[in-house]
């Protein structure tokens, strides 16, 4: 049985601006079609491929902030993020001061957290993969797993959406796929080039969370949503939401291999 890989449009947005001294690889700007509409109909395969690869690249360096809202408090953290392909990521909190230096390292399916207050590196075991990542509504599992829509799902156009206006694409997990989601739906913009809203259903076919994409910007030649808002639908999590906001992204940057090591994770900052 295949294990579902699910980072694609959740934490594949985890990509970020280069620190001082980082050298950017020269490359031509990607050519993105202005529309995926053909004779009044959505070109489904082309639109899904574009959606899946929107944030993917050989490597990336970004700056972002995450806003975690709870009924009685709101917490904001700023972070620098380095990625290499889909297998490696280093995320380092830069603010506020009490959280500065907290970091997560992903290498393939392994995940470590560094806690500067106690100067300890903790490997996240499988039993804690469904736990909260950085106190947010994302899980550790979101960070570790990647999705492949063609391998793990069947998909089809499920009609039009009025709120927001666009095309509804329905993804159904294949019978031999093991994972958290039975299915999910994504509303793409009317030209098919941008995701607007996602609805994710658990294995009992209950709506578990929604994702909203907004604030479209041009980052390094790519037109992508800079903001992603995750809202759990469980009654116990009423009033919870997590916003991931990207301020800058560079794609296909030269990043030393040592960046994705435990020694770099624990580096004094």
Please write the tens of the pLDDT for every residue from 211-241: 999 999 999 999 999 999 999 998 889 999 9
Q: How confident is the model at residue 269 (pLDDT cuts 50, 70, 90)?
A: low
Q: Output the pLDDT for position 165.
A: 96
CA distance 63 to 248: 5
Q: Tell me how many degrees the CA angle 178-261-75 measures, rounded to the nearest 5.
A: 70
Average pLDDT over residues 115-144: 87
Average pLDDT over residues 76-88: 92
In 3D, which of 182, 134, 150, 161 has the Cα closest to residue 44? 150
| H/E run at residue 184 | strand 181-188
Q: Output the pLDDT for position 268.
A: 57
Per-residue pLDDT at 91 exceeds 90: yes
Q: Which parts of the chain fold into alpha helices (H)?
A: 44-53, 140-144, 149-152, 262-265
Structural domains for the chain: 2-25+40-265 (2.50.20.10)
In the predicted model, what is the mean pLDDT of the chain? 85
Average pLDDT over residues 59-65: 95
Q: Which residues are bridge partners to 22 per DSSP?
A: none
Separation in Å, CA 179 to CA 135, 145, 152: 22, 10, 10
DSSP-derived 3-state class of residue 39? coil
| H/E run at residue 215 | strand 207-219
* pTM for the model: 0.84
Q: Output the pLDDT for position 141.
A: 77
Count of helix runs (H) and strand runs (E) in the chain: 4, 17
Q: Which long-range contacts (CB under 8 A, 24 or more apart) does 101-107 make?
A: 101/268, 101/269, 102/134, 103/265, 104/133, 104/134, 104/143, 105/260, 105/261, 105/262, 105/264, 105/265, 106/143, 106/144, 107/260
The segment with the largest mean pLDDT, out of 8-12, 30-34, 75-79, is: 75-79
């Amino acid at each position: 049985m295949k294990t579902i890989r699910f980072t694609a449009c959740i934490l594949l947005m985890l990509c970020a601006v280069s620190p001082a001294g980082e050298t950017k690889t020269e490359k031509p700007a990607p050519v993105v079609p202005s529309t995926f509409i053909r004779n009044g109909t959505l070109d489904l395969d082309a639109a899904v491929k574009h959606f899946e690869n929107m944030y993917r690249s050989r490597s990336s360096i970004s700056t972002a902030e995450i806003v975690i809202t709870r009924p009685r408090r709101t917490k904001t953290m700023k972070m620098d993020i380095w990625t290499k392909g889909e297998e490696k990521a280093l995320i380092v909190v830069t603010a506020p001061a009490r959280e500065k230096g907290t970091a997560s390292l992903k290498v393939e399916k392994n995940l470590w957290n560094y806690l500067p207050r106690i100067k300890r590196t903790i490997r996240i075991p499988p039993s804690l993969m469904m736990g909260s990542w950085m106190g947010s509504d994302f899980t550790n599992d979101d960070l570790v797993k990647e999705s492949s829509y063609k391998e793990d799902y069947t998909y089809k156009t499920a009609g039009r959406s009025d709120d927001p206006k666009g095309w509804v694409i329905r993804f159904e997990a294949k019978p031999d796929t093991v994972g958290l989601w039975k299915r999910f739906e994504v509303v793409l913009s009317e030209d098919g080039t941008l995701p607007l809203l996602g609805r994710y259903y658990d294995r009992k076919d209950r709506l578990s969370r929604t994702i909203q994409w907004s604030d479209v910007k041009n980052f390094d030649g790519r037109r992508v949503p800079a903001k992603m808002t995750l809202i759990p639908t469980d009654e116990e999590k009423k009033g919870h939401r997590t916003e991931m906001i990207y301020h800058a992204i560079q794609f296909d940057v030269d990043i030393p291999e040592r960046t994705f090591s435990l020694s770099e994770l624990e580096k004094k900052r």
